[in-house]
Amino acid sequence: MPSARLFVALTLLSAPTVLVAQSEAIVIRGATIHTASGAPIRNGSILIEGGKISAIGTSVRTPAGARVIDANGKDVIPGMIDNHSHIGAKPSDLNDSPVVVGPQHRFLDALDLNDPDFKDAVSGGVTTVVTGPGSGENVSGMAIVIKTFGDTLATRMLLEKGGMKFAMGAKSRERYPTTTMGVAANLRQYLIKTQEYMAAGKKWVDDGSKGNPPARDLGYEAMTDVLTHKTYVRAHVHSATDIMTLLRLKDEFGFDLTLHHSTEAYKVAPEIAKRGVSAVVLPLGPRIGVTDDAMGGPAILWKAGVKIAMHTDHPVINQKWLRLCASLAMRYGIPEEEALKMVTLNAAQIARVGDRVGSLDVGKDADLVIFDGAWYEPRSRVELVVGNGKVIYDRAKEGN
């Protein structure tokens, strides 16, 4: 893909009138900028060119012809990142329940880019999402990381191998496994078979790649990506017991692991921290709620040094209220800037897209949100959302 700057130059030569609409420079002035990577900048400005952030600070240059947005007294934050959701697919396409271990399933194959929920998510300031299969199986498939806006899959895709979904507690009355023991054994057996599959492939290569290669198996192939760190495990897990099972599996097989929902993770925070495992927390936020003890969990994990992010599990919680999940984390003891990271930089890094999005830094995608008040207060409104350097939501034009 050509660089954005090159694209600008090419467009300028061929169709200068289109350029203004597509890639005009934007300067946002006078805002309190919460960068997610450093201290807030009071009365700060951001320069956006070619879809990227090209300058940020207390004073930035204003190129000729740039659109200037006065954000005096307003809050600016990075476009938010929902680290765990199911947006973009029909509920009936999320779980292929008869296949209890199905790493070959790809959320991409069920993705509907025209899902109206994406527009809603943008209006709430969510610009990037990890979206993936459900949690009805022990292994339910590969997630993707995409932007919530844009016309084509190519421009929206950030990461095609966006993480392999495991689900602890995906038990059933009708088929194996019916117990926690069964889920653990089922996962171990499959990982061992993957190791054997990898060994067979390696042996064939080591023997000089003679004759037909070993038969391909999409499931083992996908799980090979997990064991070779090309992707990582995103594990749906609630209880401390199941978290310990996952940590043991990680110790045994050496894959990269992130915990999701993580309701009881706070009870085993040191065990998680010492393995460098990240946790995506509080699935049950504003709609459903958990006990005050569990709500205090993120603060315990944060203090223990665990990298944490927040998620909506959309459609469980409407994605546009991702920020309210962070607000609740704040209510229960996470400092403001850390709470912001949970829906921006941490979420991006855990999703392995931290080089592109998640903070307001020079060179990153120009995804940001302007609020009419403190970003975390329920009554504050999203005024403007910028995605890849363009205005993708403008409250003034929505009439509400």
Partner 1 sequence: MRRHSMILRAVALVASLTLVSAGASAQDKVIAIKGGTVLPISGPAIPNGTVIIRGGKIAAVGAGVAIPAGAEVVDAKGKWVMPGVIDAASQIGIEATDQNEASDPITPGLRAYESYNPYGTFGAGKPAPLRNKELLGGGVTTMYLSPADATVIGGQGFIVKNAGNDFDSMIVNASAAMDMTLGTPPKTAARARNRDPYTRMAEVALIRQALIKAQEYQRNKASNPTLPRDLGNEALVRVLTKEIPARIQANNATDIRSALRLGTEFNIDVIIDGGAMAWEFRDELAKRHIPVILGQQSHQYVSNEEIPDRQDYPPVDERLAGRLTALGIPTAIASFARAFGALAPAGSGKWLLVDAGIAAGYGMSEEDVLRAVTLVPATILGIANRVGSLEVGKDADVIILDGPPLSVKSWVQRAYVNGELVHQR
Binders of partner 1 in range 364-393 (CB under 8 A): 376-381
- Least CB distance to partner 1 at residue 296 (A): 12
Judged by CB under 8 A, does residue 74 bind partner 1? no
Q: Say how far apart CA 124 and CA 318 lie, in whole Å.
A: 10
Closest CA to 81 of 50, 112, 124: 124
- Least CB distance to partner 1 at residue 284 (A): 5
Judged by CB under 8 A, does residue 182 bind partner 1? no
- Least CB distance to partner 1 at residue 359 (A): 23
Tokens of 233: 């495990």
DSSP secondary structure code for residue 88 in this structure: T
Tokens of 236: 């749906």
- Least CB distance to partner 1 at residue 237 (A): 12
190 phi/psi in degrees, rounded to 5: -70, -40
Q: Say how far apart CA 353 and CA 158 lie, in whole Å.
A: 7
- Least CB distance to partner 1 at residue 187 (A): 21
Binding mask 142-181 for partner 1 (x = CB under 8 A): ----------------------------------------
Judged by CB under 8 A, does residue 284 bind partner 1? yes
Q: Say how far apart CA 41 and CA 373 lie, in whole Å.
A: 15
Q: Say how far apart CA 291 and CA 263 lie, in whole Å.
A: 10
Tokens of 243: 């978290």
Q: Say how far apart CA 162 and CA 230 lie, in whole Å.
A: 10
| Neighbouring C-beta atoms of residue 398, cutoff 10 Å | 9
Q: Figure out which of the listed residues 254, 276, 289, 335 binds partner 1, where binding follows CB under 8 A.
A: 289
Stretch that binds partner 1, among 138-146, 153-161, 319-327, 340-348 (CB under 8 A): 319-327
Nearer to partner 1, 56 or 110 (CB): 110
Q: Say how far apart CA 330 and CA 299 lie, in whole Å.
A: 9
- Least CB distance to partner 1 at residue 327 (A): 4
Contact 169, 242 (CB under 8 A): yes
Stretch that binds partner 1, among 15-23, 38-46, 106-114, 281-289 (CB under 8 A): 281-289
Closest CA to 268 of 309, 235, 301: 301
Judged by CB under 8 A, does residue 86 bind partner 1? yes
Q: Figure out which of the listed residues 66, 157, 240, 316 binds partner 1, where binding follows CB under 8 A.
A: 316
Binding mask 218-257 for partner 1 (x = CB under 8 A): --------------------x-------------------
Contact 188, 249 (CB under 8 A): yes
Residues that bind partner 1 (CB under 8 A): 86, 91, 94, 117, 120, 134, 238, 263, 284, 286-292, 315-318, 321, 324, 327-328, 330-331, 376-381, 400
